[in-house]
Every structure is written in structure tokens, then in C-alpha cells.
Amino acid sequence: MKNILAPSILSADFKILGEQLKLTEEAGAEYIHFDVMDGMFVPSISFGMPVLASIKGATTQTLDVHLMVTEPIRYVEEFVKAGADIVTVHYEACEDLQATIDKIHAAGAKVGISIKPKTPVDVLLPYLDQAEMFLIMSVEPGFGGQAFIPESLERISELRNLLNEKGLTTDIEVDGGIYHKNVAEVLAAGANVMVSGSGVFKGDIKDNTAKFMEILNGNV
């Protein structure tokens, strides 16, 4: 499993988004995390397919699309067409998660399955061998800049153990409140894909990204 940084553009400056993506790419961030909020599954509304399609042309980074959307099955094909490489849906948002997983795979993208902080990890048991990534939310979804919920560390370890028991090396992504100061413990708990919005885009983007990469590459 590779350790990967996924900067969340929710905290980026949209008038110079292309330049900011380049800075993260040059400093080693392999993914771009794209938070879609529908105003129903979460209180906020963010951005959708046209913005994704425009980002697709601006970077070669993997587009990691986090759908905080009720019944995301309705939009899977459109997001893949707009450039999504990974489509992550919420367990809590899908009436038929199996059909949603199948639709993402049929559209040609990788599947991510996410759970909110209060959802028990074992709801994922029936799906362990069906996703390329699991996303443990370490804040309540809906906004950037929130504080990391410490209990998330145990949840990450629990999921990593469940995957290990099945001989699976699936990616575990963690999202919310990740900064230089706590990323090492998130890594040690068993996650390997780190989302960070404020930790990357607030301040010097290139330095912030480079410092994350040093920690993720084990050089600190």
C-alpha cells in the first residue's frame, strides 16, 4: 500500500485553482480530493460536474470524488464522465449500496465507501472485498476546517484489522482535521490515504504539501 496525500480543494482559492493544483502536484500529492455536497445529505452545497471536468483538464492527479449526496447512484455516470477516477459514496446515503457499487464499477471508476463518525465500522463487513477504498470520516461531513475526532484512530485500526483478516490490502482514506501534527498517528493507525484541506491550502501550499509528503514517505 502506498501512502498518498489527497488535498481537498474545498479550502482552495478558486480564482487561481489551476495554479494551486500544480503546486500540490509538483510537491508530490498524487490525488485531488473533490468534495461534492448536495444541501441534503449535508447542510452545505459545494460544486459539481462542470468544475470537475475543468479540473480534469488542469492536472494529471487522480481525481478522488467524495459524494456527500443523498442517493448518489443518480449521478455516478455523470461524475465518471466528468473525470472522476474514484467515486466515494456514503453508506448512510444509499438505499441500495450494492447497486451503487456495481454502477460505479460498470462506469469504469474505482469504488470508495465512506462512513460518518457515528456509524459502526462493521456495517462495512458485507462490502470489504467490493471496494478499492474505504473512507473513514474523522469529522462530521459538511465543512472544512473542523477538529479531528480522536476516536477515529480506533475506527481506522478496527477496519484495518478486518481487512487484514480477509487478506485484503485495500486503501483506507481518512478525511477531516488532518494536519502535519497528527498525520503520523493516522498513518500508524492503519490508514494510507490522507485528505487535507486546511492543512494544505492555508499558508504556503508547496511547503505544506512537501512536509506532508516527508512524513508520508517516512523521512521525518
Ligand X SMILES: O=C(CO)[C@@H](O)[C@H](O)COP(=O)(O)O
User: Measured from the CB of residue 67, what is the shortest distance to Fe ion in angstroms?
Assistant: 9
Query: 35 an active-site residue?
Result: yes
CB contact set of 168 (below 8 Å; sequence gap of 6+): 128, 129
Question: Is there a binding annotation on residue 35?
Answer: yes
Question: Is there a binding annotation on residue 18?
Answer: no
Q: Which does 198 bind (CB under 5 to 8 A by kind): Fe ion, ligand X, none?
A: ligand X
Q: Tell me which residues in 53-82 interact with ligand X (CB under 6 A).
A: 66, 68
- Catalytically annotated residue among 64, 175, 204, 207: 175
User: Measured from the CB of residue 188, what is the shortest distance to Fe ion in angstroms?
Assistant: 22
CB contact set of 158 (below 8 Å; sequence gap of 6+): 121
Q: Is 178 helix (H, G, I), strand (E, B) or coil?
A: coil
Count of CB atoms situated within 10 Å of the CB of 139: 19
Q: Tell me which residues in 174-203 interact with Fe ion (CB under 5 A).
A: 175
Q: Is 193 helix (H, G, I), strand (E, B) or coil?
A: strand
Encode 74-101: b = buried (16+ Cβ within 10 Å), e = exposed: ebbbebbebbbbbbbbbbbbbeebeebb
173 counts as binding Fe ion under rule CB under 5 A: no
Q: Is the dihedral of CA 18, 24, 2, 145 positive or negative?
A: negative
Q: Which does 176 bind (CB under 5 to 8 A by kind): ligand X, Fe ion, none?
A: ligand X
Q: How many residues bind ligand X (CB under 6 A)?
A: 23
User: Measured from the CB of residue 152, what is the shortest distance to Fe ion in angstroms?
Assistant: 14
Question: Is there a binding annotation on residue 177?
Answer: yes
User: Measured from the CB of residue 154, what is the shortest distance to Fe ion in angstroms?
Assistant: 21
d(CA 132, CA 79): 17
d(CA 120, CA 112): 17
The residues annotated with a catalytic role in the active site are 35, 175
In the complex, the residues that contact ligand X under the rule CB under 6 A are 8, 10-11, 33, 35, 66, 68, 139, 141-146, 175-178, 195-199
In the complex, the residues that contact Fe ion under the rule CB under 5 A are 35, 66, 175
